């Protein structure tokens, strides 16, 4: 009688173990997919940040060059002052575009990250 009850007890336990393994494999797969998506989000955000900084550095160089060159020009004349003003307003718009683009990208990446949070399983309980 003891020999017959042992296989009966092992059957449900083995099934429970396989079910638990399957659940864990699913959680692992979900977490792995989320890890890949997270890596992509972070890499693209990093690349976009570097590009924004490059754009801002280029604008700063243009302003520095213009300040040096315009020192020799007639910036103290009404026409020279208008030209300088127009140039600086254009640069201000470019800077605002870079900042606006970065802000929009930040919002988009935040939304993706919030969506990824649900894909990571909580502590096992």
How many CB atoms neighbour CB 5 within 10 A?
Answer: 9
| Domain assignment present for 37 | yes
| Count of structural domains, the chain | 1
pLDDT, one tens digit per residue, over 68-125 is 876 656 667 888 888 888 999 999 999 999 999 999 999 999 999 998 888 876 665 4
7-21, 25-39, 47-61, 73-87 — which is least confidently predicted? 7-21
Q: How far apart are CA 103 and CA 96, in angstroms?
A: 10
- The b/e string for 79-90 (b: 16+ C-beta within 10 A; e otherwise) is eeeebbeeeeee
pLDDT, one tens digit per residue, over 36-54 is 999 999 999 999 999 999 9
Q: What is the pTM of this model?
A: 0.68
| Domain assignment present for 123 | no
Cβ-contact 86, 1 below 8 angstroms: no
Tokens of 117: 């949070």
Show the domain range for 88.
Answer: 11-117
| Domain assignment present for 5 | no
| Domain assignment present for 23 | yes
pLDDT for 125 equals 42
Cβ-contact 34, 119 below 8 angstroms: yes
Tokens 């969506």, residue? 115
């Amino acid at each position: 009688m003891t020999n017959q009850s042992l296989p009966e007890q092992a059957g449900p336990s083995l099934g429970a173990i396989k079910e638990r393994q399957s659940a864990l494999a699913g959680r692992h797969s979900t977490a792995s997919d989320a890890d890949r998506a997270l890596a992509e989000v972070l890499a693209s955000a990093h690349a976009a940040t570097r590009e924004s900084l490059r754009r801002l550095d280029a604008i700063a160089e243009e302003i520095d060059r213009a300040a040096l060159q315009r020192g020799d020009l007639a910036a103290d004349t009404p026409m020279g002052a208008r030209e300088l003003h127009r140039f600086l307003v254009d640069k201000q718009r470019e800077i605002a575009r870079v900042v606006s683009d970065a802000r929009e990208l930040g919002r988009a990446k935040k939304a993706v990250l919030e969506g990824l949070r649900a894909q990571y399983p909580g502590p096992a309980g």
